Structure 1
Amino acid sequence: MSNKDMGVIAKNDRELKLYYHPDNRIAKQSIAVAEATKAEKVLINLEEVKLTETQWAEIATLLDKNPSELINTDHSLVKETLSDNPELDENQALKILVHNPQVLLHSIAMRGKKVIEVEGINDLMKLQEMDSRDAKLP
């Protein structure tokens, strides 16, 4: 998947998207849980796929967060290049996420219009429940 394939983020109820960086502590477990769902999986390795500032801004908006809240300020890269307590405005945060996706605090999972940060592998279960409970009867 090349950079130009990524447009405004498409939302599909049958598709589970997982945005992750392989350096993330629970990325591998998140991928395993995602693989177990019935939904189509779209695994987006942020080391290989570069999201745009617009896409990061959309993800932050869907999570109802400021882009700076998506950044792990304890990450060594942040501490070395910025400071121990960086105060990032939205534009700075978006640029950091585009160029240094390894500082993403948590993997992000999306299914339809529901978007969550994956802080623990059980978080993905919140999106998996849609397989049965939210099924629409004909």
Structure 2
Amino acid sequence: MGVISKDKKKITLYYNSETSEGKQTYAYVESADEDILAVDISKTKVTGTQWAEIAHNMNEPVGSLVNQEHPDFREKYGNKKVDLNEHDWLRILEKSPSTLAHPVVIKGDRFIPIKNPSDFVKFMDSDSEGIDKPYK
């Protein structure tokens, strides 16, 4: 059993309010006519267990959640791509949540990275049509 609620009647958003992408995504989510739980990672600590669950439910490695181009990441690891283990990626997200690559929307069993804030509209459109397959 996971620690993240998977309610089909609620949208959960993990985002960073200090980025324009995060602010815009939040605005799109807030405009939805649904119950919302917004987790602003710049103000709320997200545990390694939660990050691991998010990555697992997106069928992605934890490292895919980290923006390796982010200045905080580059300051510590330089400009080259790095190959870290899952524990190290989780520590990066715990210690430097600003390195989150994209906001993540959760609704029911669907965990979706929002790479462009307007992608949320596509996600909601596919959800309202009753499409059970993951949004790509």
**Taking structure 2 as the reference length, what is the TM-score of the superposition?**
0.87
Amino acid at match of 2:13: L
Aligned-residue identity in percent: 30
Instruction: Report the aligned-residue RMSD.
Output: 1.7
The answer to whether the 8 A contact 1:17-1:110 is kept is yes
Deviation at 1:25, TM superposition (A): 3.0
User: Is the aligned partner of 1:69 residue 2:69?
Assistant: no
Code of the residue aligned with 1:87 in structure 2: it is D
Equivalent pairs counted in the alignment come to: 129
Contact 1:13–1:111 (CA<8 Å) still a contact in 2? yes
TM-score (norm 1): 0.86
Report the counterpart of residue 122 of structure 1 in structure 2.
118
In the alignment, the residues of structure 1 paired with residue 127 and residue 113 of structure 2 have an alpha-carbon distance, to the nearest angstrom, of 19
Helix, strand or coil: the match of 1:44?
Answer: strand
**1:32: how far off?**
1.0
What are the ranges of 5 or more consecutive residues in structure 1 without an aligned counterpart?
A: 1-6
Q: Deviations over 1:47-98 (max 9, x none)?
A: 1111111110000001111111111101111111112122221110001101
Uncovered stretches (5+) of structure 2, i.e. residues with no partner:
131-136
Deviating 4+ runs (over 3 angstroms): none
